[in-house]
Structure 1
Amino acid sequence: MSMLNKGNKFEDQRGIIRFNNDFDASEVKRIYMIENSQIDFVRGWQGHAIEQRWFSCIKGSFRVAVIHVDDFENPSSDLVTEYYDLRDDTLDFLHIKAGCITAIKALEKDSKLLVLADYGLGEIKDEYRFPLNHFNIKL
């Protein structure tokens, strides 16, 4: 099952509507936005054993590296990395399931990534961070 929920767009003489009629936001409790200060900066590795996230690019473009982890206390450094490119042309949502670690890189200046989370801030302690060089990355 793909982690990417594809959106779409409709355009006519009135303008453009970007939509994702298949996205179910019923689990969302919190929303925030990420804007990297520079396009050569990689934000990561960060993950959650319990929490879920949904990412949608609302301006510019991002590359997201995702690793599925079984052991957050001592993850192997050679786990398989999946890569997803998110653009602002359609309202795609990348579902980052519980048990995943991500690294995020803006591909264009002034890019903005909308993030939805299924737990409120401070509701549980479920944040794991790893040095950028801990996993293989090709962002």
Structure 2
Amino acid sequence: MILKGSKFKDDRGALKFNNDFDVSSIKRIYTIENENLSFIRGWQGHKIEQRWFACMNGKFKIGVIEIDNFDSPSNQLCPKYFELTADVLDILHVPAGYITSIKALEEESKLLVMADYKLDEIQDEYRFPLDYFSN
């Protein structure tokens, strides 16, 4: 799920890049900045839409769960966690059929989110309480 980015630094400054990321599917971008470090945004996801996440500032912990049935998912499903930092331009790809939780790990963290559908192009948003899943 992680497309590894990299960085180059010389006397002119730094360049962060991800040459393996194909942006041709992207139709919308936005940023997320959580209000504080204790807030967790989630669980939220999509049957059809995909998301790509990149940390622009600070650090984030993103939980990802593949959903077996969006109408009544098993509460025994366990998340896999990924950390994204602003040090390199790693991109977390979350395919359709997954939900996520998002937690900032540093003050003033900013997450770039990219989606393959425009806002309100389809109705495909599913939300579950933070304590619904066992972990």
Cα distance between partner residues in 2 of 1:103 and 1:21: 26
Determine helix, strand or coil for the equivalent of 1:21.
Answer: coil
Corresponding residue to 2:71 among 55, 70, 73:
73
Cα distance between partner residues in 2 of 1:77 and 1:64: 18
Aligned pairs for 1:118-129 within 5 A? 118-129=116-127
Cα distance between partner residues in 1 of 2:110 and 2:20: 22
Q: CA deviation at 1:80?
A: 2.5
Cα distance between partner residues in 2 of 1:26 and 1:94: 16
Cα distance between partner residues in 1 of 2:37 and 2:95: 25
Q: Deviations over 1:80-118 (max 9, x none)?
A: 311000000000100010000100000001100000000
Determine helix, strand or coil for the equivalent of 2:131.
Answer: helix
Corresponding residue to 2:97 among 96, 99, 123:
99
1:130 aligns with 2:107: no
Determine helix, strand or coil for the equivalent of 2:26.
Answer: coil
Cα distance between partner residues in 2 of 1:80 and 1:129: 16
Corresponding residue to 1:49 among 47, 50, 67:
47
Residues 68, 74 of structure 2: 8 Å contact kept = no
Question: Unaligned 5+ residue runs, structure 2?
Answer: none
Cα distance between partner residues in 2 of 1:131 and 1:82: 17
- Compute the RMSD of aligned alpha carbons: 0.6
Determine helix, strand or coil for the equivalent of 2:36.
Answer: coil
Q: CA deviation at 1:28?
A: 0.2
**What residue identity is the alignment partner of 2:20?**
D
Q: CA deviation at 1:136?
A: 2.9
Q: CA deviation at 1:4?
A: 0.3
Question: Unaligned 5+ residue runs, structure 1?
Answer: none
**What residue identity is the alignment partner of 1:7?**
G
Determine helix, strand or coil for the equivalent of 1:132.
Answer: coil
Determine helix, strand or coil for the equivalent of 1:134.
Answer: coil
> TM (normalized to structure 1)?
0.96
User: How much identity, in percent, do the aligned residues show?
Assistant: 59
Cα distance between partner residues in 2 of 1:14 and 1:124: 44
The residue aligned with 1:23 is: 21
Determine helix, strand or coil for the equivalent of 2:69.
Answer: coil
